[in-house]
Amino acid sequence: MRTTEICVIGAGPAGLCAAIAARRAGAQVTCVDSGDRPGGQLVKQTHKFFGSRGQFAGKRGMDIARILAAQIENDPMVDLMLESTVIGIYDDGAMGIEHEDSLTFIKPACMVCATGASERMLAFPGNDLPGVYGAGAVQTLMNVYGVRPGKSVLMVGAGNIGLIVSYQLLQAGVEVAAVVEAMPEVGGYDVHARKIRRAGVPILTSHTVKAVHGARTVEAACVWALGSDFQPIPGTERAFQVDTVCLAVGLAPLADLLWQAGCKMAYIPELGGHVAIRDEDYRTSRPDIYVAGDLAGIEEASSAMIEGTIAGIAAARSLGHSTRDSEEMLATARAQLDALRAGPKGEKVRKGIDRLMRLGREVGVVA
């Protein structure tokens, strides 16, 4: 069985930053990812980030992925295992990794789980017709493989993902017939919503999909209004002649490995579902397991990168690795997270984290 000091599971924004931070602190790192290149969702993101320079403001997600990957790809102290899937974390701390039909076992001293999230789907008549996609699949088709998903799209969901993917569809020459959102307000940033509206795309809040129609593939979609009780209002139906319906209705943390590893979990709706109870260092109830990114709670890629940095530094420190500026870097990262979560848009996440910390104190995970 192979050994390593820190195994990072997932080479998306959180995992890459965790690997970089742990390595800078002096730890030996193994980073495992099922994809064929590092970067996770960043490799699909053609839009420019905003915020602070520390989170690569002004750079496109796909470029950020290259910048982060370059910091570990040629480092002899980092073993980057691509097209490899962690299939289990066992009681003795070992993990099984599948690669090209063979199984490898690695026993790390500790690990940072940054497995990301899965897309949520909606139940409605016709949701199994070819032409109904999740937003992640649409991004993969367009931004990774250069394939347009259709000629005319109905976008479902006006959070940041729905708004950004709508704009990317427009840039690719695809008509966006409308964006529908069940909530009474747009959930994404105003800057993204304004770009969509300036392009002439209506955003219908308090609306949802009634049904999608087509003989063999999507040919039309029907939406209807929702009342204040979120019940459909008969007689408000509107039909759109589209060949694609894109669902951007939220994400759920991919927590299967944490359940299997026996981490204490909690259902926190504000963070996207079941998440591990963890402390401010992102250490779970299993002292050898840290979490970061969407797995720790659904937020933006900028937050994921900062969380990865915190978890990487903390994991390395738990093994006796640190530098003179480790504590300063931790303090800076925590201040950056607070800034990202400030304001009305961050209220939901702040509320979820407050609940998580209270639970953590009750079960002894948080001091």
Each residue's pLDDT expressed in tens, for the chain with a length of 367 residues: 899 999 999 999 999 999 999 999 999 999 999 999 999 999 988 888 876 777 788 899 999 999 999 999 989 999 999 999 999 999 899 999 999 999 999 999 999 999 999 999 999 999 999 999 999 999 999 999 999 999 999 999 999 999 999 999 999 999 999 999 999 999 888 999 999 999 999 999 999 999 999 999 999 999 999 999 999 999 999 999 999 999 999 999 999 999 999 999 999 999 999 999 999 999 999 999 999 999 999 998 999 999 999 999 999 999 999 998 999 999 999 999 999 999 887 899 999 999 999 999 999 999 8
Pairing of strands 95-99, 85-89: antiparallel
Beta strands in 91-134 (DSSP E): 95-99, 102-113, 117-119, 132-134
Q: How far apart are CA 78 and CA 105, in angstroms?
A: 17
Considering only the C-alpha atoms of the chain, give the largest distance between any 2 of them, rounded to a whole number of Å: 66
Write out the DSSP string of 212-234: EE-SSS--EEEEEEB-TTS-B-T
Q: How far apart are CA 157 and CA 28, in angstroms?
A: 42
The DSSP bridge partners found for residue 191 are: none
Residue 7: phi and psi, rounded to 5, are -105, 120
Task: List the Cα angle 194/341/139 in 5-degree steps.
Answer: 50
State the pTM of this model: 0.91
Provide the pLDDT for residue 226: 98
Q: Which amino acid is at 276?
A: A
Which two three-digit tokens encode residue 5? 């000091």
| Secondary structure percentages of the chain, helix, strand, coil, to 5 | 35, 25, 35
